[in-house]
Structure 1
Amino acid sequence: MREKTLTKPQGILFDLDGTLLDTAQDLGETLNYVLSTLNKPPVSYQQYRPVASHGAAGLLKLGLGENWQSYDVEKLRRIFLDYYLNNISVHTEFFDGMAETLSQLNYYNIAWGVVTNKPAFLTDVLLTQYPEFRHSQINVSGDTLKVRKPDPAPLLHACQHMQINAEQCWYVGDAHRDIEAGNRAGMQTFVANWGYTQDERPVSQWQANHIIEHPCELISYFS
C-alpha cells in the first residue's frame, strides 16, 4: 500500500501483543493450564495463535467452546491471569527484527512508546523483562484510562505525554481495533501483518494507511 516516502514522524506508538512481542505461546500455555484443571483437552498452537490478541476472555472462549457461558468464566479468568502473571515471559520474545527496529528509532531520535489493551499489572511486569523498553517514552495499558482501544483516547494521551502532535505520530498494530483507534486519532496507521491479525475482515479492509510484513520495513518509510 506504500505510495511514497513519508515525512519523518515525531513519534511512533506500538501495540504490544502481536506487534512488538510474540506472546502467543505463553498465553496459549496458560489457556491449556486452565483447561487441564477442567479435564478438557489442550488447544494447539495453530488454534490459539490467531486469538492471542483477544486476551484472557477470547482465549477462554476458544478453549471452552460454544458452551463457554455455562462455566464460571470470571473465576477461570482469575485463574488464567494468576498463572499467566507467574509465567509471563517463559517463551515470549521480540518478533524477528523488532528489537533492531527499536534501536534504529533510538538512533534517529524518534520517540516511541507502547499503547496496549493489556492490563497494567501484566504490562508493567512483562516490559521489565526486556531492556529495550527502557527507551520507551510512555506505556499506556488497557486500564490506564477509563476507555481503551478502539477509542483513540489512549493514543492521544500518549502523544500528550510525549509532547508530540497526533498528526505527526504513527501507530503500528496487529488488530482492527488498533487501526480504528489510530485512524480516529488522526495518525498514520500501519498493520503489523506478522502478528495475530485474525478478524472477520481481511486486513486490506481495515482502512490502514499501510500494511507491512516485517518490522524493519517501518524505517524505510522515512529514511
Structure 2
Amino acid sequence: MSNLHRPHAFLFDLDGTLLDTARDMGEALNLLLNQYDLPQREYNEYRPIASHGAKGMLGLGFGEQLQNFDYETLRADFLACYANQLNTHTRLFDGVAQLIDGIQQAGLPWGIVTNKPEHLTTPLLQHFPQLHHADIVISGDTLPQRKPHPAQLFMAQEHLAIEHGNIWYIGDAERDILAASAASMVPVLAEYGYICPSELPHQWKASLRISQPEQLLRYIG
C-alpha cells in the first residue's frame, strides 16, 4: 500500500511466519493419536491448523472426544512428543533468510514474538543461525498474557525503543493482526503461512498482505 511509511523495525511471529514447523507438529500429534488408537491426520489436514498450537492440533486430532480427556494432560503429552522431534522437518520458509539479511543490512532492529512456550522456542531457534541475531525474543509464557493480547508487543516495543507506529508486526493468524492493531503497530499478514480459508482471512484488518517473505524488502530500500 502506498500510504505505508517505511518501517523502523520488524517483529515476527514464529510458526507459519519465519519457520515452517507444521510437519513436526503434525507428526507429534500422530504419535499421540497412535497412543490412543485414534486415526492419523494427513499433512493437508493439520497444516492449516498448525498456527493454533497445541489447542488447535488437539482439537483436530481428538475432535468431539477431546471433552472426554483431561486437556492439560493431553497438552503436556503433545508438547512432550513435539519436543522430542522439534527440528526433524522444520525449516525456514523460502525467502526468510534473504529477508533477515536485508533487514540487517539496512540496520533495522527486529525481533520475534510468539505464543510458542519458551522451552520449545529457545532450543528450536538454536538450529537456525539466521535467527540468532534477533534483538528480542518473547515467547508465549514470557508474560501472563499472550496474543491476541498486545502485552508481548508492548514489551518488545519498550525493548526496541521505537515508536509503535513505526514497527511492523508480521504474522499468519488473526490473533497476530489483532495484537498488532491493539499495540498500534502496522499489522502485516503472511498469507503463505498456516491459514484455514474458513477463518475468512480476507476480513482480517491487515495493513499489508504478503505472499512471500522477501516482498517486505521493497519497503526498506
TM-score by length of 1: 0.95
Tell me the distance in 2 between the aligned counterparts of 1:134 and 1:61.
33
Counterpart-to-counterpart distance in 2, 1:200 and 1:142: 25
Aligned match of 1:147 in 142, 145, 148?
145
The answer to whether the Cα contact below 8 Å between 1:174 and 1:197 also exists between their aligned partners in 2 is: yes
Aligned residue identity for 2:120? L
Aligned twin of 1:58:
56
Tell me which amino acid in the other structure corresponds to 2:189.
Answer: V
CA distance in 1: counterparts of 2:150 and 2:71, whole angstroms: 29
Q: Which runs of 5+ in 1 are unaligned?
A: none
Is 1:185 the counterpart of 2:183? The answer is: yes
Residues 47-96 of structure 1: CA deviation (Å, up to 9, x unaligned)? 00001011112111111122211123322221111121121011000111
Q: Is the 8 A contact 2:103 2:220 kept in 1?
A: no
Q: Distance in 2 between matches of 1:113 and 1:196?
A: 20
> Aligned AA for 1:83?
C
Q: 5 Å matches for 1:24-103?
A: 24-103=22-101
| One-letter amino acid matched to 2:128 | Y
Deviations 1:131-186 (A, max 9, x none): 11221000001111111111111111001111211111000000000000001111
Amino acid at match of 2:131: F
Give me the whole-angstrom Cα distance separating, in 1, the residues matched to 2:197 and 2:70.
26
Deviation at 1:200, TM superposition (A): 4.6
For 1:68, give the aligned amino acid. Answer: L
Partners of 2:63 and 2:183 lie apart in 1 by 36
1:98 & 1:157 partners in 2: Cα distance? 24
* Partner SS for 1:67: helix
Q: TM-score, normalised by structure 2?
A: 0.96
1:221 Cα deviation from its structure 2 partner: 2.3
In 1, Cα distance between equivalents of 2:105 and 2:156: 21
The 2-side partners of 1:119 and 1:200 are apart by 27
Gaps of 5+ in 2: none
**Residue in 1 aligned with 2:170?**
172
SS where residue 213 of structure 2 aligns?
Answer: coil
Q: State the 4+ residue runs in structure 1 displaced beyond 6 angstroms.
A: none
C-alpha separation in 2, matches of 1:197 and 1:218? 19
- C-alpha contact (below 8 Å) 1:5/1:221 kept by paired residues: no
Asked whether the equivalents of residues 145 and 154 of structure 1 are also in contact (C-alpha less than 8 Å), the reply is: yes
Name the CA distance, whole Å, in 1 between partners of 2:4 and 2:206: 15
- The one-letter code of the counterpart of 2:73 is K
Q: Which is worse superposed, 28-37 or 73-82?
A: 73-82
Q: Distance in 2 between matches of 1:9 and 1:58?
A: 32
Q: Is the 8 A contact 1:6 1:222 kept in 2?
A: no
Matched-pair contact (CA < 8 Å) for 1:13–1:113: yes
User: Does the CA-based 8 Å contact 1:190-1:209 persist in structure 2?
Assistant: yes
Q: Alignment partner of 1:132: what SS? A: helix
Q: Secondary structure at the match of 1:135?
A: coil
In 2: Cα distance, 1:36 partner to 1:194 partner: 30
Tell me if the contact between 2:171 and 2:177 (Cα under 8 Å) persists in the aligned partners. Answer: yes
Partner of residue 105, structure 1: 103
Shift of 1:7: 3.1
Counterpart among 125, 128, 144 of residue 127 in structure 1: 125
